[in-house]
Homo-oligomer: A and B are copies of this chain.
Amino acid sequence: MKVAIVGVSGAVGQEFLRVLEERNFPLDQLILFGSSRSAGKKYLFREREIEVKLLQHNDDFKGVDIAFTSAGGGTAEEYADTITRYGTLMIDNSSAFRMKENIPLVVPEVNAKDAENHPLNIIANPNCTTIQMVVALNALEQISHIRRAYVSTYQAASGAGSAAMDELYNQYRQTLAKEKVSVEKFPYQLAFNLIPQVDVFTENGYTKEEMKMYNETRKIMHSDIQVSATCVRVPALRAHSESIWIETERPISVEEARAAFSKAKGIVLQDNPAQKEYPMPLFVSQKDPVYVGRIRKDLTNENGLTFWVVGDQIKKGAALNAVQIAEYLLTKR
C-alpha cells in the first residue's frame, strides 16, 4: 500500500508521520508532499529519511492508495482532481469539502459507515472542535435524542498551526523579559489573554468556527440537533476544551451519562470530583482519546445535562481521526 501525506511540514502533517508510525499503519511506501517552502526537506519515518516532493499538477499520485491532505482549503480544492483522478482516496483535513454533497464527513466513533460511500474519492475530516464534541454527544444520543447543545470552547494555540504555538511561547518569553510582545499569528496577544474569535465572522455574528460546530455536527450525526457555540482561543498549547450543555428528549441522569461515556469507544471518563479528577488540556496533550468529566444535571432544565470535554486538537482533532477513517475502510476491504 502506497500512502501520501500532503502538507507534511505543518503541525498536522507532522502529526500524520507520528500517528502512522505509532499505529503501525499497514503501508509499504510513504510519499511526502509540500509547498515550495518545504519541498526538499527530509523527515524521518520508520527510521528512514524521506524527502518532501513539491506538490504539482502532474501524475505523482498515480498508484497512491490513500492521500492524507492537510494543506488548507484553497490547496485542497486546487489539487483535489490531481490527487484523486487515478483512484487515490483523499482524506482531507481542510474545510473545503466538509459540507459538500457526495463527500462524507466522518468521525469513526459516530458515522464510520458513511466513509464507505465516497463517490468522488474524497472523505472530509471534520473541524477539531466538532470532532471531540460529537464523540461525546454520540455516546448520549444512544440514550435519548439530543435536541440542542450550547458549547463554549477553550481552544489551544495549536489550532492556528505550529508557528502559532511558537509565537505563544515567544510571547511569554517576551513578557517575562519585559520586551515588546510580537503579534503575528493571532489577531491580538494571546499570552495572559483570551481571544473570543477563532476564524472570521459570518453574517449572523457567529464566526466560521462556531458555524462549523452547528453544521458539521448535524451532518456527522444525521441529526436535527441545534448547536450554539462561542469559540475562544486560550493560551493552552495543543488540546481543546469544551464546556457543553445539552437538552435531550427525555432526562438523562448523571449515572446514565457516566455509564454511556465509560463504554463509548474513543472516550475516557475522568469524572471524580472528590479526588479532583477531571480532564485538563496540559495532561491530555498527545493523547488519543477524548476525555469527559464534570458531568452534572443542568440546574435550569430537567432534560438538561452539562459536562466538560478535552481532546488533543492535532491528534483526535485532526491527524488521528483521518488515519482512523482509513483504518476503518481497510477493515471493510
A-side residues, CB < 8 A to B, are: 147-150, 152, 154, 169, 172-173, 175-176, 187-189, 192-197, 201, 204-206, 214, 226-228, 230, 232, 234-237, 241, 243, 245, 254, 273-274, 276, 278-283, 293-301, 304, 306, 308
Report the Cα distance A298→B204, complex, angstroms: 10
Q: Please give the count of copies of this chain that the complex contains.
A: 2
Compute how far the CA of A245 lies from the CA of B151 in the bound complex, rounded to whole angstroms: 10
Residue of B nearest to A214 (CB): B299
Considering only CB atoms, which chain B residue lies closest to A154 in the complex? B194
A sample of 18 inter-chain contacts (CB < 8 A) reads A150-B150, A150-B306, A154-B232, A188-B280, A189-B282, A192-B282, A193-B236, A193-B281, A196-B278, A196-B308, A197-B278, A204-B296, A205-B294, A206-B296, A227-B299, A228-B299, A230-B306, A235-B235
Q: Indicate if the CB atoms of A280 and B173 lie closer than 8 Å.
A: no
Q: Is the CB of A230 within 8 A of B204?
A: no
Chain A binding site: helix, strand, loop or mixed by DSSP?
A: mixed
Partner pick for A205 among B173, B273, B300, B301, CB 8 A cutoff: B273
Q: In the bound complex, how far is the Cα of B152 from the Cα of A152, in angstroms?
A: 7
Q: How far is the CA of A237 from the CA of B299 in the complex (A)?
A: 30
Select the residue from A169, A205, A299 with max chain B CB neighbours within 10 A. A299
The reply to whether A300 and B150 contact each other, CB–CB distance below 8 Å, is yes
Known: A188-B280, A189-B282. A274 touches B235 (CB 8 A): no
Instruction: List the 10 closest A-B pairs by CB distance, nearest first.
Output: A152-B152, A193-B282, A226-B300, A148-B300, A152-B243, A205-B296, A201-B273, A228-B299, A230-B243, A172-B172
